[in-house]
Amino acid sequence: MVDVDFCCMPPPTNGIGTQKKARLRTLTNEIKRFIFANPGCSAQSIVSYLSNEKKFRNHGLTPRKVGFFIPRHLKTDVRWWQDHTAGRRVYGPDAEE
C-alpha cells in the first residue's frame, strides 16, 4: 500500500524570482539600447531586431506586447508619438535624456 504523503504534490517553493527579474532587466536594457540608437523606430522594428539580431526567439515577442511593455516599464526613459503617415506609434528617447 502506498503512503499518502509520498503520492501528493510537493509543497510550493517560495522562490524570489531572480530569473524572471533578470529576463525583465535584460529585455528593458535591450529595448532601451535599440531605441536610443534608432530614435523614431516602431514596435515592429524593435521586435525584428530582438528576434533576429539578439536571438530573443523564445520570448514570444510581438509588436503588440512591446507596445504595451514600453509605457509600463520604460515610461521614464522613452517617449512615444504618433506617426501620422504610417498610422502607428514611434518611440524615441525622452527629452530630458
**9 within some domain:** no
User: Residue 91 region, left (φ>0) first, then alpha (ψ -120 to 50), else beta?
Assistant: beta
**31 within some domain:** no
Report pLDDT digits (tens) over 42-58: 999 999 999 999 888 77
pLDDT for residue 13? 64
**65 within some domain:** yes
DSSP assignment of 33-77, as one string?
Answer: HHHHHSTTEEHHHHHHIIIIIS--GGG---HHHHHHHHHHHSTTT
Report pLDDT digits (tens) over 57-95: 777 889 999 999 999 999 999 999 998 888 889 999 987
**92 within some domain:** yes
**46 within some domain:** yes
**32 within some domain:** no
Structural domain boundaries, residue 43: 38-97
Q: How many structural domains comprise the chain?
A: 1
Q: Which three three-digit cell numbers place residue 45? A: 522594428
**79 within some domain:** yes
**83 within some domain:** yes
Rounded to an integer, what distance in angstroms lies between the CA atom of residue 66 and that of residue 87? 17
